[in-house]
């Protein structure tokens, strides 16, 4: 049996699924709303202080819904399965196409942010707020680096899915259990980062089952997931919040934990359970607008926050009121309105870079495709670690992204004597994974 037949035998002509599209848009909207709402900001004339409104006692329970990374990876798994099966071409060519869509919109972000700290510093912007904004802009790219692992592994993961079914996420789940046992048993915190693979690939794998129509008993999945999370938090070493909070001894996100995997199961079960209601929502116009802009919104919503913070907090000295107080609630709509105006201006300038330029048809090999993945991944990790603060790191990270993009154009042109394999069909804008992040 050929690889294409093996991977596509369940639903070789899987159509687009509006539920997956809506999950992505919901995830992006919630990420933006959360990132714009939770900062607690103050400026003393030299330093910008940053807190988190979700650190308010008792509010952590909100993060069991507002931490949407599980839904994003689940939707990503479904989207990758749909895209790969529809492509009906070679795996390296499909990977090259996905890498171009992932890396291309990052170039204008780097083109603005590499010189911007130098320019603003020369204009007298205080050093510490400027460095904070520069670093956080890059740190939010961590999700793309992790998602790149899932994209690169998708052809192999789909083969495992076709052959072993539920045993694949089960093994990944056991890997997450073993990782946490070793981490907490030995005190070696670095061991926990193995769960970047175990937790997020397990969630990504569930998207394959959804596409095949094999994700059933979702009410039981939701109850089991949230119930297990409650037990792990109540009787285990895990904090209640599913995002990192200031002053917390540990985080369920960095690295992800077994508690995060349990919440993931709960979220996915609940979302699929509600699917009949969700797909009946009148969202056609929203999806038509959001599809071509979703990556741009993700990449630029934090720069919008820094721009408004620079004017309101740093320049005019207006501090954030006590979270969830009357003043905070009264000022929240105005704050979101200012951010939306800046975001609309940024979209007008940068949404045009959402779509990568077309490239000539080439027979991309695995060496070039994997080399491109390594370069793009290395560039993302560099920017995640160093951000866009002045130095050589952001330049090196951007150079790696450019190198990866160039490698996706490698390979020889198809021979005229032999019919070339069908290249990967470029999915519609609304089918692409809208990326997300956690606070």
Print pLDDT tens along the chain (439 aa): 444 444 443 343 445 788 999 998 888 889 899 999 999 999 998 899 988 998 888 888 999 999 999 999 999 999 999 999 988 768 899 999 999 999 999 999 999 999 999 999 999 999 999 999 999 999 889 999 999 999 999 999 999 999 999 999 999 999 999 999 999 999 999 999 999 999 999 999 999 999 999 999 999 999 999 999 999 999 999 999 998 876 677 899 989 999 999 999 999 999 999 999 999 999 888 888 888 899 999 999 999 999 999 999 999 999 999 999 999 999 999 999 999 999 999 999 999 999 898 877 667 899 999 999 999 999 999 999 999 999 999 999 999 999 999 999 876 665 544 333 333 333 443 344 443 334 4
Q: Where are the alpha helices (DSSP H) in 140-192?
A: 142-164, 167-186
d(CA 73, CA 253): 14
Angle at 81 between CA 77 and CA 83, to 5 degrees: 115
Q: Which range of residues forms the domain containing residue 118?
A: 3-431
Angle at 405 between CA 404 and CA 411, to 5 degrees: 90
pTM of the model: 0.88
Instruction: Copy the structure tokens of residue 82.
Output: 């749909």
Predicted confidence at residue 439, as pLDDT, reads 40
Q: Where are the alpha helices (DSSP H) in 253-314?
A: 258-273, 275-278, 284-290, 294-309
Give which of 245, 271, 230 is closest to 438, Cα–Cα.
245
Q: Using the 8-state DSSP alphabet, how is residue 409 labeled? A: T
Instruction: Copy the structure tokens of residue 258.
Output: 């077994």
The verdict on residue 400 lying in a domain is yes
CB 78 within 8 A of CB 17: yes
The verdict on residue 437 lying in a domain is no
Distances (CA, A) of 266 to 23, 77, 259, 395: 15, 17, 11, 41
In the chain, the number of structural domains is 1
In the three-class reduction of DSSP (H, G, I as helix; E, B as strand; rest coil), residue 52 is classed as strand
Altogether, the residues listed in the chain come to a count of 439
93 sits in which H/E element: helix 91-103
The verdict on residue 274 lying in a domain is yes
The verdict on residue 436 lying in a domain is no
Predicted confidence at residue 98, as pLDDT, reads 93
Q: Using the 8-state DSSP alphabet, how is residue 293 labeled? A: G
Predicted confidence at residue 4, as pLDDT, reads 41
Instruction: Copy the structure tokens of residue 279.
Output: 């797909």
CB neighbour class for 390 (10 Å; exposed up to 12, middle 13-18, buried from 19):
middle
Q: Which residue has the tokens 């607008």?
A: 289
d(CA 15, CA 109): 33
Predicted confidence at residue 413, as pLDDT, reads 62
d(CA 130, CA 5): 53
The verdict on residue 439 lying in a domain is no
d(CA 380, CA 387): 10
Distances (CA, A) of 425 to 94, 320, 417, 421, 428: 8, 47, 23, 12, 9
């Amino acid at each position: 049996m050929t690889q294409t037949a093996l991977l596509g035998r369940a639903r070789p002509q899987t159509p687009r699924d509006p539920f997956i599209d809506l999950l992505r848009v919901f995830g992006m909207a919630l990420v933006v709303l959360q990132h714009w709402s939770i900062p607690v900001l103050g400026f003393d004339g030299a330093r910008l202080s940053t807190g988190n409104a979700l650190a308010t006692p008792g509010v952590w329970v909100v993060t069991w819904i507002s931490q949407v990374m599980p839904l994003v990876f689940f939707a990503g798994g479904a989207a990758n399965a749909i895209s790969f099966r529809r492509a009906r071409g070679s795996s390296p060519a499909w990977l090259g196409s996905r890498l171009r869509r992932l890396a291309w919109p990052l170039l204008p972000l780097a083109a603005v942010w590499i010189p911007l700290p130098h320019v603003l510093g020369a204009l007298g912007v205080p050093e510490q707020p400027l460095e904070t904004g520069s670093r956080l802009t890059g740190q939010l790219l961590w999700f793309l680096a992790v998602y790149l692992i899932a994209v690169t592994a998708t052809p192999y993961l789909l083969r495992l899915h076709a052959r072993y079914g539920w045993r694949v996420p089960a093994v990944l789940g056991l890997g997450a259990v073993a990782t946490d046992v070793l981490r907490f048993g030995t005190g070696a915190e670095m061991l926990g980062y193995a769960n970047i693979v175990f937790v997020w690939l397990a969630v990504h794998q569930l998207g394959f089952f959804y596409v095949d129509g094999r994700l059933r008993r979702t009410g039981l999945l939701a109850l089991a997931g949230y119930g297990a999370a409650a037990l792990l938090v109540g009787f285990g070493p895990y904090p209640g919040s599913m995002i990192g909070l200031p002053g917390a001894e540990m985080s369920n996100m960095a690295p992800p934990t077994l508690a995060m995997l349990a919440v993931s199961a709960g979220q996915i079960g609940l979302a699929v359970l509600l699917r009949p209601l969700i797909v009946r929502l009148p969202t056609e116009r929203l999806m038509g607008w959001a599809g071509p802009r979703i990556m741009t919104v993700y990449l630029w919503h934090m720069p919008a926050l820094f721009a408004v913070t620079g004017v309101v907090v740093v320049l005019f000295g207006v501090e954030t009121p006590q979270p969830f107080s009357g003043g905070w609630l009264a000022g929240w709509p105005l704050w979101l309105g200012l951010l939306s105006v800046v975001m609309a201006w940024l979209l007008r300038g940068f949404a045009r870079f959402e779509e990568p330029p077309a490239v000539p048809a080439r027979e991309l090999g695995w060496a070039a495709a994997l080399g491109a993945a390594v370069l793009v991944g290395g560039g993302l990790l560099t920017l995640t670690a160093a951000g866009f603060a002045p130095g050589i790191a952001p330049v090196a990270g951007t150079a790696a992204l450019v190198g990866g993009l160039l490698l996706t154009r490698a390979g020889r042109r198809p021979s005229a004597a032999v019919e070339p394999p069908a290249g990967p069909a470029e999915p519609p804008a609304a089918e692409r994974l809208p990326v997300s992040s956690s606070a």
